[in-house]
Amino acid sequence: MRLTDVRHQERAVAILRRALAVDRMHHAYLFDGPAGVGKELTARGLAALLLCARPGDADACGTCPSCQLFATDNHPDFHLIHRGLHKQHPDRSVRASKGLFLAVDLIRHFLIEPASMKPAHGRRRVFVVRDAERMNEGAQNALLKTLEEPPGSAVLILVTASAARLLPTIRSRCQRIPFELLPIEFVASELAGRTDLSPASAQSLAALSDGRLGVALHWHQIGLLDQLAAVDDALQSRGTHDATAFAEMLVQSATTLGQAVLEDQSDEEEAPTRSRGGKSVPTDALRDALKLVLMLLATRYRDALVAAVGAGDLVRLAPATGGLGLTADPPHADEALAAIHEAERNLDRNVAPQLVLERLAVALAGELSLAR
Ligand SMILES: [Zn+2]
């Protein structure tokens, strides 16, 4: 990955290039912006350039020993800090943890301590912290000193889609580099080029993702669009007042998604724990999956709404709609959307999913009868 290859993040790249041009790199950056828009790729491009032995004006040379090490993901001065590292920690109790967040032991061992060591190969060490907001408070406090007085020539890049969850003292010690949503058309064409999605489905997924390519690719991986059929079946059943059936359909759909997420994760970690067989999905994962299902449901109503007011070009699921023919007059679509958002809030409040969805079914059936 080269800095030159970063697409549609002109502002972020320009700020970095200006600093490079006058040789005034900060030692701590906060790459801040939506998930899946290229923050980590940019961080890698910057790291390659900072570590390169013969950097050109715009990028790493790609051929020096440092660049070759970087390309094989083996550069001893490049450190990617992520939650999965807990499995490599020398302390058995850290290895035994679930690795849900970046704990202080992990940050100390993989960041603070190596940051104080001389570079192994070149002029500096570069540390990239993925999902930096996952550092718990202890980890963030432990990192403050390193951010304040970085040892030697270490460069730290904190990558986050939730900067508000970082302590103000962390944020104020970093230079913020803003990242933006990508153009929908760009995401759609990347999806069409990288996956087996039809152009129409790629367009729908790109629109659903709001221009977050990484998120869209993940949704493709877990088969999000495949669940539209289940959502549509549930929608069609809402008029029958069978709230239980409606809720069961959506829970089943979310369970399928949740299982796909688990499989995707175990692939990523190359963990041998693959014998999922496909039954139980942890409650948190099920809630997250249910929110995706509710997003599909809401998108159907939102599409009906924008179509009703003649803004058909804003329809998101248009190419993949496949003849659902959901029509709604604006006030009722609005109320349906409000009911769906209420369901999302109730999921966050830990109300049981089946109950949340049964209530939603009643609300949506009510909207339907009002619409007649
Ligand atoms: Zn090089």
Tens digits of residue pLDDT in 213-263: 999 999 999 999 999 888 888 887 765 668 888 888 899 999 999 999 988
Say whether pLDDT at 208 is over 60: yes
311-332 average pLDDT score: 67
64 CA distance to ligand 1 middle (Å):
4
- Which has the higher per-residue pLDDT, 365 or 269? 365
Q: What average pLDDT is seen over the chain?
A: 88
Ligand 1 centroid vs 55 CA: distance in angstroms?
6
Q: What's the rounded mean pLDDT across residues 197-208? A: 92
pLDDT score for 294? 95
Per-residue confidence band for 325, with pLDDT thresholds at 50, 70 and 90: low
Distance of CA 69 from the midpoint of ligand 1 (Å): 9
The answer to whether 295 and 208 are in contact (CB under 8 A) is yes
Q: Residues lining ligand 1 (ion), CB within 5 A?
A: 52, 60-61, 64, 67
DSSP state of 190: H
Residue among 372, 348, 234 nearest 301 (CA): 234
Cα–ligand 1 centroid distance for 65 (angstroms): 7
pLDDT at 35 over 50: yes
Res 99: pLDDT = 86
76 CA from centroid of ligand 1 (Å)? 15
Cα of 254 from ligand 1 centre, angstroms: 46
Note the pLDDT of residue 318. 62
Name beta bridge partners: 30: 158, 176
Alpha helices in the chain (DSSP H): 10-21, 39-51, 65-71, 92-95, 104-107, 113-115, 137-148, 168-172, 184-194, 199-208, 213-221, 228-237, 243-268, 283-308, 330-348, 353-371
Ligand 1 centre distance from Cα of residue 352 (Å):
55
Q: How far is the CA of 333 from the centre of ligand 1 (A)?
A: 56
Specify the pLDDT at position 367.
Answer: 60
In this prediction, residue 151 carries a pLDDT of: 77
CA of 8 to the centre of ligand 1 (A): 24
- Structure confidence by residue, pLDDT tens digits, 261-282: 988 877 665 444 444 455 678 8
Q: What is the whole-number distance in angstroms between the Cα of residue 156 and the centre of ligand 1?
A: 20
Tens-digit pLDDT profile for residues 139-190:
999 999 999 887 778 999 999 999 999 999 999 999 999 999 999 999 999 9
Phi, psi dihedral angles at 158 (to 5 degrees) = -90, 125
